[in-house]
Amino acid sequence: DAKTTQPNSMESNEEEPVHLPCNHSTISGTDYIHWYRQLPSQGPEYVIHGLTSNVNNRMASLAIAEDRKSSTLILHRATLRDAAVYYCILRDWGGSNYKLTFGKGTLLTVNP
Amino acid sequence: EAQVTQNPRYLITVTGKKLTVTCSQNMNHEYMSWYRQDPGLGLRQIYYSMNVEVTDKGDVPEGYKVSRKEKRNFPLILESPSPNQTSLYFCASSLSTGRSPLHFGNGTRLTVT
C-alpha cells in the first residue's frame, strides 16, 4: 500500500500562512489524497481531500503537484486552534487493498 | 447528529480478562476500521471492514478480533488482553469510496494491568 512522508514537526506564528508538505512518491492513479488533523485529546477530524486538482474549503486549501507525488496543505491564517497533528493519507479504491496507513503525522505548533 | 460512538471512553482491566470495545455509526457507512495510537508511533490500523461479514487485517492485528454482523456496529474484541495492548483506540467509518471522508469516534483509553 502506498505510504506518505511528512515532517515530524513544524512551527508557525498566529495569523501567518502555514504550508504543510506531504510526499507520496508511490501514489497510484486511483489514490485520493486526504488530510486529517487531531487536536489534543480528540479523535482525528477530516480536513480536505483531492485527486488531481487543487481544492479549497472553509478549513484549508490543498495543492497537489502535477505529478501527484507530493501535496501541500495550506492554512491561510493560522490560529491557536490550528495547533494539532496533521496527517496525510492515501485512499485507494481502485483495487482490493483498503488498508489505510496514517503514520505519525506533522505536529504543528502555532505561536501567539 | 451524524456520529461514530465508542464505548467505553475509559477502561482499566487486568491481564487475561476478555473485553469488548463497541463502535457504532449512524451514517449507513459501509467501511469501518479500528486504530490504536501510541506515543511516538502515530495511528496504526488494527482491522477494517468493507461491509457486513467482510473484515480484514490492518497493520497490527495480533491479539485482536473483530466482527461485523450489522452494518452499524463494529466491535473490537480482546480475548486475552496484555499490558502491551494499553493504548488509545479509535474507531472510524466512511462510505466505501476513495473520496469519502473518514469519521472518527472520540476514542477509548484502555489500560491493562
Partners of A31 in the beta sheet? Answer: A92
- Residues A100 and A30: their CA atoms lie apart, in Å, by 14
Which pLDDT value is given to residue A104? Answer: 87
Under an 8 A CB cutoff, do A91 and B41 touch? no
CB A87 within 8 A of CB A60: no
Task: Please report residues of A whose CB lies closer than 8 A to that of B96.
Answer: 93
If 0-12 CB within 10 Å is exposed, 13-18 middle and 19+ buried, where does residue A29 land? Answer: exposed
Best to test chain A binding among B9, B29, B43 (most A CBs inside 10 Å): B43
Under an 8 A CB cutoff, do B35 and A102 touch? yes
Closest CA to A20 of A77, A78, A83, A74: A74
Task: Please report residues of B whose CB lies closer than 8 A to that of A99.
Answer: 45, 48, 56, 58-59
Query: Which of A45, A93, A103 is closest, CB to CB, to B98?
Result: A93
Task: Please report residues of B whose CB lies closer than 8 A to that of A31.
Answer: 98
Say how many residues make up chain A: 112
pLDDT(B25) > 70: yes
Tell me what the pLDDT averaged over chain A comes to: 91
Task: Please report residues of A whose CB lies closer than 8 A to that of B92.
Answer: 43-44
Under an 8 A CB cutoff, do B43 and A102 touch? yes
Task: Quick: pLDDT tens for A4-51.
Answer: 999 999 999 999 999 999 999 999 888 899 999 999 889 999 999 999
Per cent of chain B over pLDDT 90 is: 88
Q: How far B8 CA lies from chain A's nearest CA (Å)?
A: 14
Best to test chain B binding among A27, A33, A46, A89 (most B CBs inside 10 Å): A46
Which pLDDT value is given to residue A1? Answer: 53
Give me the amino acid identity at B9: R
Closest CA to B37 of A110, A108, A58, A105: A105
pLDDT(A95) > 50: no
Task: Please report residues of A whose CB lies closer than 8 A to that of B50.
Answer: 98
- Residues B51 and B69: their CA atoms lie apart, in Å, by 9
Q: Provide the 3-class DSSP secondary structure of residue A15.
A: coil
Q: Provide the 3-class DSSP secondary structure of residue A82.
A: helix
Task: Quick: pLDDT tens for B76-102.
Answer: 999 999 999 999 999 999 987 778 899
Under an 8 A CB cutoff, do B59 and A105 touch? no
- Alpha carbon A43 to its chain's center: 16
Which of the 8 DSSP states describes residue B102? Answer: P
Estimate the share of chain B in helix, then strand, then coil, as percent rounded to the nearest 5. Answer: 5, 50, 45
Under an 8 A CB cutoff, do A34 and B102 touch? yes
If 0-12 CB within 10 Å is exposed, 13-18 middle and 19+ buried, where does residue B17 land? Answer: exposed
Closest CA to A85 of A37, A41, A49: A37
